[in-house]
Amino acid sequence: MSPGVLVAGIGNIFLGDDGFGVEVVRRLAGKPLPPGVRVADFGIRGLHLAFELLEHPDDTTVLVDVTPRGGEPGTVYLIEPDLETLAGPAGGPADAHDMTPAAVFGLLRSLGGTPGRVLIVGCEPLATEEERGLSPPVEGAVDEAVGLILEVLTRESSRENLAGDPAGTLQEGGL
């Protein structure tokens, strides 16, 4: 089986803008996607995401989540993280509801797995307090994020079709 792409929406819909990733994958699921792309809402289920990554180690994973980086609320980022730094050392018991990338990749490492390529499509949040619904700037960024993910999927699909051609490295913050 050839590698595919997993687009994983993560976040808590009861914490305002933290529901960004969930809303993005909900909208993305209604779009035509290239073969081999799986779109899933993982919500706050970090343990489930770690096992999904363990089962598909060669896949590209696109995490969709709020990403506070100090920009204007609603700013969309494309990041290729340093997974060695992100995962850190494995430690402590697994928390099925801990959805930070560090917790997910730390758990994956403790299970003996390593992810394939990982990208993060993030959005600068305005508020992540207890409330349902996205703030206006983050709501306005959802369609931009969907468009960005579709561009990434097109690029990943063409990379897959260029057998043996080395892939370039994505720079943090842009294509």
Helix (H, G, I), strand (E, B) or coil at 35: coil
- 67 DSSP 8-state letter: -
The pLDDT mean for the chain works out to 83
Question: What is the structure's pLDDT at 148?
Answer: 97
- One-letter amino acid at 175 equals L
Tokens of 129: 């307090």
pLDDT confidence band for 159 (50 / 70 / 90)? low
pLDDT tens, position by position, 88-147: 554 455 555 456 777 888 888 888 888 889 999 999 999 988 989 999 999 999 999 999
Angle at 71 between CA 115 and CA 171, to 5 degrees: 40
Of 67, 68, 10, 9, nearest in space to 44 by CA: 10
Q: What is the number of other CB atoms lying within 10 angstroms of the CB of residue 159?
A: 16
Question: What is the structure's pLDDT at 27?
Answer: 96
What is the pTM assigned to this prediction? 0.83
Question: What is the structure's pLDDT at 37?
Answer: 93
State yes or no: pLDDT of 170 exceeds 80.
Answer: no
Q: What is the number of other CB atoms lying within 10 angstroms of the CB of residue 95?
A: 13
Question: What is the structure's pLDDT at 1?
Answer: 55
pLDDT tens, position by position, 14-63: 999 999 999 999 999 989 999 989 999 998 888 889 899 999 888 899 99
